[in-house]
Structure 1
């Protein structure tokens, strides 16, 4: 007797999509948690600055008796939502397309729109978690009050704002060719708009053209609608005008994303790594016919080129080391017209501050990240079997860091001296260059020390990013006024290199100061940090 076994009926396509969606959302959330840069700018960055700014304003209140901190949660929450829903989503979508994942979904049971819906849902979950975390910290630590009757308006605003950012992120990913370019452009757009959209700077008297630009784009409307939901005044917190603008931008972004959608890879931004140092390349860099001194020089020049090529293929590193400081130098004087900081014009002070920041990013963030990537790929370990000494390879990377700092200085000088009225005495130019190189060398040694102490590349990036910006803020690198910082914060900042490099550069770039421009006390501190960090690198092997 035989029994016919009927084939199991396949579930409808709609059921397959519904079943796959939760798993895809979990996968997207896990991918976000494994991305330290995304997690830092989405969660850690707004949380850190909420704590710092709230600590600075202390117990200050408005004339109506409302704590100033009440109005700080909304703008930082908006930045976190925009980072997750716009920047991270755009970069992830471009990476999925570039790696061929979306093209393979064309013949898979789960369609592309389900994958993208899961990514959008994950971005919204991360956004909601960021807003909840900021609100809890504000309520617990800084007397922020939740206006319960405005909670529905907050949820609607959050949902619509995240949807608007997501649609624009997908549109940007559809328009830009590579994942690296998408990530760099998205980050640049968001940070630039945050300064003119009541996010980083609330209520500033902007120039007319900047105010008009901010009002035409959706981030300011998102920020103002979100701020209304935290305002303790009357009403239910809905901002129909701002929400209508967000809805219009959502439709426009979705239309553009659908119209320009092409899920085939358009060319990889995963650039081929530079040729790893091998016996053959080392022999080519050190031909036996040259004298030993020239062979060493030729080998070092090759390692400098090696490091510079790697930096040039990382647009996000170039953006934060060169473009971002120049953007701040141009934007801040435009936002704070005729403002002075510690007796100096805004542009004059920020010129020294942005030189400090550029040197710190190049040495403390970009350099150890490149070293950690080479170590993870086994490049550093294989160097022990080649004629190329490890110290020469690291020297090439450090020299590339110094060149990056000089490039950033040249761009900043072109913008500051050429257009913003920054003045640097000609007799102080040796002091400026020497101080900048000493600071970049200090940050490079500090970055190598951190790379030697931390073996995981992911934890390394999280530590460097998570410490640099708060320390720079406490060191008054980003200061925008004469409000004094808390004494404890200033004392802590005085222990670290950014404050000493800033003070040394302020001395070197002082327009009316006499003398050579060298701040020997601050330079001695930088030298001390450099020596200690190099000892750590020597005692702890990098490979």
Structure 2
């Protein structure tokens, strides 16, 4: 008996070590926890970091805390919730429950991994802030910072476990985690610091814990703030920790509850051969289905999969509409380059929706089908792979057009944006050409990269920073630094946004077609098409190196 006692902590330490390794080997979890807050800091710090507050303090001093808090929230809330849901729905938790380890050690190891990732994110952002931007550390406030970080991480981890406990599937956990975290970050002094929010938005942020975590962390970076302990904020975090832990204990289950792999709807290509066989003439004659029939059939099933994918639908259609409604409310009557906030945001959100549909959703679904061997099995069916891919491309283009329609309706009805009907064809041309460009680039990456995990990390990891340097998420009169503007000018997203801005300006004239910007978009589309055509054989074989799961998008994606 005495010999066994020293060995009791070992299962927890072993499981924790494996959980930490799994996290840092997960490209999307690592990117959105470590790299994404860092990208935020570099871009926003380069834009406004040297400006000064009325007290004479550089603005960058107040940027480290909120961006680091976002990384902590990703690790301790989103990643923990989704990772635990994946383990539950894949049956891993149930098998671990039957292993000779304490049940509590299995869950504690997941929390330990989230704590390690949270501290790593905070330290990384803080180190870059100090070394690259001259942020001043307040050594007197270091104990308060550690306490705040522990309290915030514990609170968000408890809420993450609670979210896993009340959801049935991986997709539900992913959708809820990002659907809550991303909008909440805008009203919790994380993405928008110090904004004068409307009363109802401020009340929402004050009632929930993320704002208290961000404000308590920000106080530890404020010069002359004493020891910077925030008892009120810490008390709210403690209360939410108790609530989250209680819900997790009450509803947590070890057994799978539903469809746990988190994939998009039915297998992407499986229905297509069945649809062909259901044609009355297919079984009785030698007539082959026409190309139009095959293309429309694949498009229909791709749209069905999109309709069943709540996470992709949210971030492609709903999230841009939320930004379009929220930013004008937050910034009031502020104008950007002579336009109202909503008028300026509309083309950017349309460009974002089209890019996300073609550059992220499309290659993700194709790579998943390749990993499952679906594309290889199509060789034995009457459906050529090219029509499978064509259906997915047409679906992405339709989603982009639908996003433009939804955003335009929201802008006109809710924000009073003016659109000239004469220039609506220019809007449609830009959306279709831009969507085709990002579909070509997405397929080129899917053909060039053998692993689904690395593919999604690259698509999201490049699209989101480009949104900032292309002035889609950066709103304000301050010009971009030269090096950031050069990056934006090279890639097509900025040109798509500018072509849409030309077509939607209320003071514009002529047809609204920005030929020079569309020419750059067309060149990128042609380049992507050439790469895809040269590597088309990559779509014919199964992928043996990766085990795909449904990614988490913020676009935020997490794979297991």
Please state which band the TM-score falls in when normalised by the shorter chain.
over 0.9
Report the Cα distance in structure 2 between the residues aligned to 1:129 and 1:358, rounded to whole angstroms.
Answer: 32
Q: CA-to-partner distance for each residue in 1:243-287, whole Å, 9 max, x for gaps?
A: 111111111111121122233322114354245378665554695
Report the Cα distance in structure 2 between the residues aligned to 1:42 and 1:184, rounded to whole angstroms.
Answer: 17
Q: 1:40 to 1:309 in 2, by over 3 A?
A: farther
Q: How far did 1:23 drift?
A: 1.3
Q: CA-to-partner distance for each residue in 1:87-111, whole Å, 9 max, x for gaps?
A: 1111122222222333344443323
Matched, 1:421 2:416: yes
Report the Cα distance in structure 2 between the residues aligned to 1:88 and 1:26, rounded to whole angstroms.
Answer: 16
Cα contact 1:368–1:447 (8 A) shared by 2: yes
Aligned to 2:9: 18
The one of 71, 74, 79 equivalent to 1:83 is 74
Report the Cα distance in structure 1 between the residues aligned to 2:266 and 2:295, rounded to whole angstroms.
Answer: 21
The one of 131, 134, 147 equivalent to 1:140 is 131
Q: How far did 1:436 drift?
A: 0.8
Cα contact 2:362–2:439 (8 A) shared by 1: yes
Query: Where in structure 2 are the equivalents of 1:207-226 lying within 5 Å?
Result: 207-226=198-217
Query: Where in structure 2 are the equivalents of 1:366-385 lying within 5 Å?
Result: 366-385=361-380
User: 384-393 vs 57-66, which deviates more?
Assistant: 57-66
Report the Cα distance in structure 1 between the residues aligned to 2:49 and 2:62, rounded to whole angstroms.
Answer: 13
Cα contact 2:275–2:297 (8 A) shared by 1: no
Report the Cα distance in structure 2 between the residues aligned to 1:488 and 1:250, rounded to whole angstroms.
Answer: 43
Aligned to 2:544: none
Q: 1:223 to 1:286 in 2, by over 3 A?
A: farther
Q: CA-to-partner distance for each residue in 1:50-89, whole Å, 9 max, x for gaps?
A: 0111111253343444332111110001000011101111
Query: Where in structure 2 are the equivalents of 1:302-381 lying within 5 Å?
Result: 302-381=297-376
Q: How far did 1:512 drift?
A: 3.3
Aligned to 2:387: 392
Aligned length: 534
Q: In structure 2, the residue corresponding to 1:52 is in which secondary structure? A: helix
Matched, 1:251 2:246: no
Aligned to 2:267: 273
User: 151-160 vs 258-267, which deviates more?
Assistant: 258-267
Q: How far did 1:20 drift?
A: 0.5
Report the Cα distance in structure 1 between the residues aligned to 2:215 and 2:389, rounded to whole angstroms.
Answer: 48
Matched, 1:529 2:524: yes
Aligned to 2:158: 167
Q: In structure 2, the residue corresponding to 1:230 is in which secondary structure? A: coil
Q: How far did 1:515 drift?
A: 1.8
Aligned to 1:48: 39
Where does structure 2 lack aligned partners over 5 or more consecutive residues? 540-560
User: TM-score, structure 2 length as denominator?
Assistant: 0.90
Q: In structure 2, the residue corresponding to 1:537 is in which secondary structure? A: helix
Cα contact 2:269–2:369 (8 A) shared by 1: no
Report the Cα distance in structure 2 between the residues aligned to 1:244 and 1:279, rounded to whole angstroms.
Answer: 59
Report the Cα distance in structure 2 between the residues aligned to 1:292 and 1:147, rounded to whole angstroms.
Answer: 77
Cα contact 1:16–1:109 (8 A) shared by 2: no
Q: 1:293 to 1:97 in 2, by over 3 A?
A: closer
Aligned to 2:437: 442
Aligned to 1:152: 143
Report the Cα distance in structure 1 between the residues aligned to 2:502 and 2:233, rounded to whole angstroms.
Answer: 46
Report the Cα distance in structure 1 between the residues aligned to 2:272 and 2:188, rounded to whole angstroms.
Answer: 51
User: TM-score, structure 1 length as denominator?
Assistant: 0.93
Aligned to 2:552: none
Q: CA-to-partner distance for each residue in 1:417-447, whole Å, 9 max, x for gaps?
A: 2211122112222221221111111111111
Cα contact 1:363–1:440 (8 A) shared by 2: yes
Where does structure 1 lack aligned partners over 5 or more consecutive residues? 1-8
The alignment's C-alpha RMSD in Å is 2.2
User: 511-520 vs 61-70, which deviates more?
Assistant: 61-70
Q: How far did 1:480 drift?
A: 2.2
Cα contact 1:307–1:396 (8 A) shared by 2: yes
Report the Cα distance in structure 2 between the residues aligned to 1:355 and 1:43, rounded to whole angstroms.
Answer: 28
Q: How far did 1:379 drift?
A: 2.3
Aligned to 1:411: 406
Q: How far did 1:16 drift?
A: 6.0
Q: How far did 1:397 drift?
A: 0.8
Q: How far did 1:396 drift?
A: 0.6
Cα contact 1:435–1:505 (8 A) shared by 2: yes
Report the Cα distance in structure 2 between the residues aligned to 1:538 and 1:234, rounded to whole angstroms.
Answer: 60
Q: 1:298 to 1:69 in 2, by over 3 A?
A: same
Aligned to 2:558: none
Q: How far did 1:381 drift?
A: 2.9
Cα contact 2:269–2:388 (8 A) shared by 1: no
User: 146-155 vs 422-431, which deviates more?
Assistant: 422-431
Matched, 1:122 2:113: yes
Report the Cα distance in structure 2 between the residues aligned to 1:501 and 1:120, rounded to whole angstroms.
Answer: 42
Q: How far did 1:494 drift?
A: 1.0
Cα contact 1:285–1:295 (8 A) shared by 2: no
Q: How far did 1:189 drift?
A: 0.8
Report the Cα distance in structure 1 between the residues aligned to 2:180 and 2:273, rounded to whole angstroms.
Answer: 44
User: 512-521 vs 117-126, which deviates more?
Assistant: 512-521
Report the Cα distance in structure 1 between the residues aligned to 2:477 and 2:8, rounded to whole angstroms.
Answer: 57
Report the Cα distance in structure 1 between the residues aligned to 2:345 and 2:328, rounded to whole angstroms.
Answer: 9
Q: In structure 1, the residue corresponding to 2:490 is in which secondary structure? A: coil
User: 152-161 vs 526-535, which deviates more?
Assistant: 526-535
Query: Where in structure 2 are the equivalents of 1:495-510 lying within 5 Å?
Result: 495-510=490-505
User: 22-31 vs 213-222, which deviates more?
Assistant: 22-31
Report the Cα distance in structure 2 between the residues aligned to 1:382 and 1:260, rounded to whole angstroms.
Answer: 41
Q: In structure 1, the residue corresponding to 2:259 is in which secondary structure? A: coil
Aligned to 1:100: 91
Aligned to 1:263: 254
Q: In structure 2, the residue corresponding to 1:206 is in which secondary structure? A: coil
The structure having more radius of gyration, on CA atoms, is 1
Matched, 1:30 2:21: yes
User: 447-456 vs 108-117, which deviates more?
Assistant: 108-117
